[in-house]
Structure 1
Amino acid sequence: MSTTEPRITVGVDGSAGSTAAVAWAAKLAALRHLELRIVHGLQLTGVYYGGGVLGAGAEALFDAIRTDGERVVADARALAASIDKDLAVTTDLPNEPPVPMLIDESRRARLLVVGRTGTDGFADMLLGGTAASVVSHAHGPVVVVRGRHDSADVPESGPVVVGVDGSPNSEQAIAVAFEEAALRGAPLIALHAWNDVTYEDAFGSARILTQPESLEEDEERLLGQRLAGWQEKYPDVAIRRVLVRDRPRHALLEVSAEAQLVVVGSRGRGGFTGMLLGSTSQALVQHARCPVLVVRPEPKA
């Protein structure tokens, strides 16, 4: 049984990336008639115990950190209200490190939203292993809000793109992508990337697959099978199938330049295997030119 609540949660830190994330989350919450929850991790425990800050100065530092956190949350709340004055907004400033706090928040949110970069508590959040920790260990879908040309200019038009690889998690990504495209009145690009080189062992030994024409026919058939039924369920969504012989990260990064949202599963087979644990994850969350929505596998009954 799902424990999610009817809300979208966004992590804030006062940076430009955080501001873009709040605006994006507020617009989606208003569109979906959901509550928006704004959270900011103070991480004060380290100040007292890990940072060696004791004595008379500790209380003043504590107050300064909390005051700054309250300002960050208040600014985020004001931005959300400017987008939709009727939007239901709640806030929280827990004394927790940002990453575990966000992972815990993802247990109850319909969607967890984070910015492309940050300062202080969110510093390096989307760099290296910290990004993998947040996105890979969240208990629900996560959006990393990115803009065009590594800026806060987040696109609001263009198609929704979904990466299709034939895995069960990819099936969930397709379902989410159709829903998002229908909600936005946007066309959908279903992209299936494949190549004729596979890596068979831990040392990266490669082999060239024979009969590439036959393989391409198989891949085209797979894409058609994965989309079967969805067009009937969402007849108003215009869909374009794209089959490319390329690595998924290259193809998805290229198409992100024209998209308003890219939707992918957290794991897959072939090119998508281990996606959020390696180079493809880094490429998407650090270099995509639009928001990236990562769909988590549904828990087993």
Structure 2
Amino acid sequence: MNSADSAAVVVGVDGSEPSLRAVRLAAVEAVRRHRPLRVVHGFIWPLLHVPVAPGPDAPPGAGLRQRATELVARAVAEAEATTPGLPTSGEIIDGEAAAVLVGESPTAALVVLGDRGLGGFSALVVGSVAVQVSAYADCPVLVARGTQRPDGPVVVGIDGSPASLLAADFAAETAVTRGVPLRAVHAYRHPGSSGPGDMQPLVYDEAQLHGEQEKLLTGWLDELPARHPGLRLTCRATRERAGAALAEASRDAQLLVVGGQGRGEVTGLLLGSVSQSVLHHARCPVAVVRGPR
């Protein structure tokens, strides 16, 4: 995450209601982080060689550029109404939505998106924008979806990978800032092999396996409370698919945090089944945290 005091929370908008929900979430997050808010619209039409100025006989206020200006102004007004006094700016940037937001990320504290939208943000969850921004952004990415639950815990998915441990630190800092507990969830399926070519055991002790996985989980996070004083941490290991476990854990959560890469059930998070499952089925906003490339 960019640690400069001037780093803003950046929110991508396209004029849709989901993007306005993202604006409201981003505004609250900016206040929590003591950051300014930057509203950005990726204006793709010049790249497609589409005329953006109004025609000679068009009424006042016509033209694609003017419409983009108006939707950014509406989004800025929405942010100012949500969090009065928050320093907020808006900008139209020529380019495809994902490229624009990734370009913003090196100097951003956080990038926020709606879970679906119009134009450059259409089909955000199942399409390329969320995947590209989450895969390549140089800061955490927050997807606004589900229900806002101010009293719910922050939930983080853990598999022991460096990416999931970065996500745990982000989640812990967020939980302490918001004054809520952090719930760490580790999903496992079956015993792993001990080396290349090894067969997985056909018979194993389920209770022993569960205990081993819980021990792994607590070991991965044993230093987290010391790094985040005041943290209230609970750990849960569960034998099921990671996507299903995290979606279930999100039912009463206010935020679900996942790492940008992982192993085991979380391998290929950005492009595989876990990310798709979480972004489709999580009942709360989802933050994707990845380390430096």
TM-score normalised over the length of structure 1: 0.86
CA contact (8 A) 1:264 1:295 kept: yes
Taking only the aligned residue pairs, the percentage that are identical comes to 38
Which of 264, 271, 283 is the equivalent residue of 1:277? Answer: 271
1:259 to 1:57, Cα distance in 2 relative to 1, 3 A = same
Root mean square deviation of aligned Cα = 2.7
- Name the SS of the counterpart of 1:244 in structure 2: strand
1:223 to 1:288, Cα distance in 2 relative to 1, 3 A = same
Question: Shift of residue 290 of structure 1?
Answer: 0.5
Which runs of structure 2 are paired with 1:69-80 in the superposition (5 Å)? 69-80=68-79
Residue 117 of structure 2: aligned partner: 118
Question: Shift of residue 32 of structure 1?
Answer: 1.6
- The answer on 1:194 being equivalent to 2:193 is no
Question: Shift of residue 2 of structure 1?
Answer: 5.5
Which runs of structure 2 are paired with 1:19-34 in the superposition (5 Å)? 19-34=20-35
CA contact (8 A) 2:214 2:236 kept: no
- The answer on 1:84 being equivalent to 2:83 is yes
CA contact (8 A) 2:36 2:86 kept: yes
- Name the SS of the counterpart of 1:118 in structure 2: coil
Question: Shift of residue 44 of structure 1?
Answer: 2.1
Question: Shift of residue 235 of structure 1?
Answer: 4.0
1:55 to 1:191, Cα distance in 2 relative to 1, 3 A = closer
CA–CA separation in structure 1 for the residues paired with 2:250 and 2:202: 29
1:247 to 1:74, Cα distance in 2 relative to 1, 3 A = same
- Residue identity matched to 1:292: V
CA–CA separation in structure 2 for the residues paired with 1:159 and 1:236: 14
Which runs of structure 2 are paired with 1:223-242 in the superposition (5 Å)? 223-242=217-236
1:68 to 1:197, Cα distance in 2 relative to 1, 3 A = farther
CA–CA separation in structure 2 for the residues paired with 1:236 and 1:54: 53
1:214 to 1:103, Cα distance in 2 relative to 1, 3 A = same
TM-score normalised over the length of structure 2: 0.89
Q: Any stretches of 5+ residues in structure 1 without a counterpart?
A: 149-153, 200-205
- Residue identity matched to 2:163: N
- Residue identity matched to 1:33: H
CA–CA separation in structure 2 for the residues paired with 1:72 and 1:54: 15
**Superimposed CA distance per residue, residues 212-260 of structure 1 (whole angstroms, 9 cap, x where no aligned partner):** 4443232112111111122233342222211100111000001111000
Question: Shift of residue 99 of structure 1?
Answer: 1.2
- Name the SS of the counterpart of 1:94 in structure 2: strand
- The answer on 1:140 being equivalent to 2:134 is no
CA–CA separation in structure 1 for the residues paired with 2:98 and 2:56: 24
Question: Shift of residue 30 of structure 1?
Answer: 1.1
CA–CA separation in structure 1 for the residues paired with 2:288 and 2:97: 19
1:198 to 1:276, Cα distance in 2 relative to 1, 3 A = farther
1:70 to 1:3, Cα distance in 2 relative to 1, 3 A = same
Residue 202 of structure 1: aligned partner: none
- The answer on 1:222 being equivalent to 2:216 is yes
CA contact (8 A) 2:45 2:52 kept: no
- Residue identity matched to 2:271: L
Question: Shift of residue 54 of structure 1?
Answer: 10
1:2 to 1:117, Cα distance in 2 relative to 1, 3 A = closer
CA–CA separation in structure 2 for the residues paired with 1:145 and 1:269: 25
**Superimposed CA distance per residue, residues 26-47 of structure 1 (whole angstroms, 9 cap, x where no aligned partner):** 0111122101000001112244
More divergent stretch after superposition (224-233 vs 181-190): 224-233
